[in-house]
Amino acid sequence: MRVLGIETSCDETGIAIYDDQKGLLAHQLYSQVKLHADYGGVVPELASRDHIRKIIPLIDEALKQAGCDKSSIDGIAFTSGPGLIGALLVGSTVARGLAFAWNKPVIGVHHMEGHLLAPMLEDNIPEFPFLALLVSGGHSLIVEVQGIGEYQILGESIDDAVGEAFDKTAKIMGLDYPGGPRLAKLAEQGTKGRFKFPRPMTDRPGLDFSFSGLKTFAANTLKAQGDDPQTLADIAYAFQEAAVDTLLIKCKRALKQTGLKRLVIAGGVSANTELREKMATLMQSMQGEVYYPRLEFCTDNGAMIAYAGLQRLKAGQTNQNINVKPRWPLNELEAV
């Protein structure tokens, strides 16, 4: 089966074609970072308009890259939520229009399920069951995964997602958009031990997160210490260290609670080098294994949507309407 995947949940237009026998045949991505940089964050209306401009040319390019045409596409998958409603509607209407014109089945995909399954695009794939840490600009989730659609949320953020906290802290520090990667880069120049940030909610039972306090702590430290270059680097180091340690502590707790030995880490923040190194050390100490998507598939992309959609289309699931869900709990999904 060969599926066209369409991702338009936020500020990246991702198109891909995935074949269940041959693997990934095409992958096209257009990022709107430059468009939103002047505003310090994503402007939803501008994002929607840019998706409209880019989506059809990218689909044409993906078909050309894959060396196929519409007749060899067996189904279409699109991100139907969660995300920005205008951006989601661009992808859903185009997907539904193509499905009608080409007489193909179509399925709406949960954005975070796409991230969760992104490591399946690699050669070394995790077997079910496993624990998943999903960390992005909009989500921080610890999920017990028994199979596709069989998700139990064990912990989530009660306020800012970890990626959101990275971005907001970077903005407080005067770093350009996108802030999270810039903060991580600046942290490489930081001094270990100069500042000690709290590890929120790690001194109590449970697996939920809270990251807004770290942002406030960084703002107060900056106000008290000044904003010379080395101080900014040291604050970035301390913030990143605290955020990563918090994720590490919660994952270790969840692994012990569930008895699982496989950990999947996905979403935009999974590209963070410090997070990858510390999680690898943790899993080695617990005689387990950690799985990531490659860096280009950590952020939003059409390949993960094509793969997730293919699994559901193969199971006979379809969705012929254009409805989108800006908010959509992961555990509402139907099992495959």
Has 136 been labeled as part of a binding site? yes
Has 36 been labeled as part of a binding site? no
Has 134 been labeled as part of a binding site? yes
Has 23 been labeled as part of a binding site? no
Has 180 been labeled as part of a binding site? yes
Has 324 been labeled as part of a binding site? no
Has 167 been labeled as part of a binding site? yes
Has 331 been labeled as part of a binding site? no
Residue with tokens 């490489």: 188
Has 138 been labeled as part of a binding site? yes
Q: Which residues are annotated as a binding site for Fe cation?
A: 111, 115, 300
Binding residue ranges: 111, 115, 134-138, 167, 180, 272, 300
Please enumerate, by residue number, every residue annotated as part of a binding site for substrate.
134-138, 167, 180, 272
